[in-house]
Chain A
């Protein structure tokens, strides 16, 4: 463990908590993409199957259980409890166009051709693009509530911090995984225009308005 990865995990946890607070306090999931939340749940389930086979640490097991349970809870809140506030019309991204290519790519480019490894690789590729429905929704509605933009900033920062973690681990431990690094780089790049808007607008107290 290093400071970059710990900061990344905490930023990730913060994002998930911010999302739950937004939905619970406003009793609405307006402006949130249910499709992205479904993709995140698939990412965590397919990545954390090793929960039952490998014990790394209490921290590792605890965080995996938190990520899986909160992602399922978010989907429940969006599609059941606050279903009436879910923005079906704008949340129209076809996630099969992400699921199928990621799975096929995982079959082609992976570290080992075993079920657990293929699923881990699939989850890494899927996580890189899982935010697309959410960014697509924000671009269609043209704006986002400030707490939603804080959620996106924390979520985008987590993988950016992981990039620093991988640089650190390469030099400190000689450990690296090109699949995780390339996917993490793409994932972070997808947030760049949002990061720009967040820093130039939201941090100045303005609302996140995308140029129409």
Chain B
């Protein structure tokens, strides 16, 4: 899981 990908969810 890429960092930004994971953290783009609420």
Contacts and interface: CB of A to CB of B under 8 A. Distances in A.
Interface of B is mostly: loop
Interface of A is mostly: helix
B6 to A, nearest CB: 5
**How many residues of A sit at the interface, in one of the four size bands?**
20 to 34
Interface in B1-10: 1-2, 4-10
Contacts of B1: 111, 175-177
Interface stretch (A19-27, A59-67, A130-138, A143-151): A59-67
Contact of A177 (B4, B6, B10): B6
A162 B7 contact: no
Interface of A: 5, 9, 12, 50, 54, 56-57, 60, 63-64, 67, 111, 120, 162, 165, 169, 173, 175-177, 180
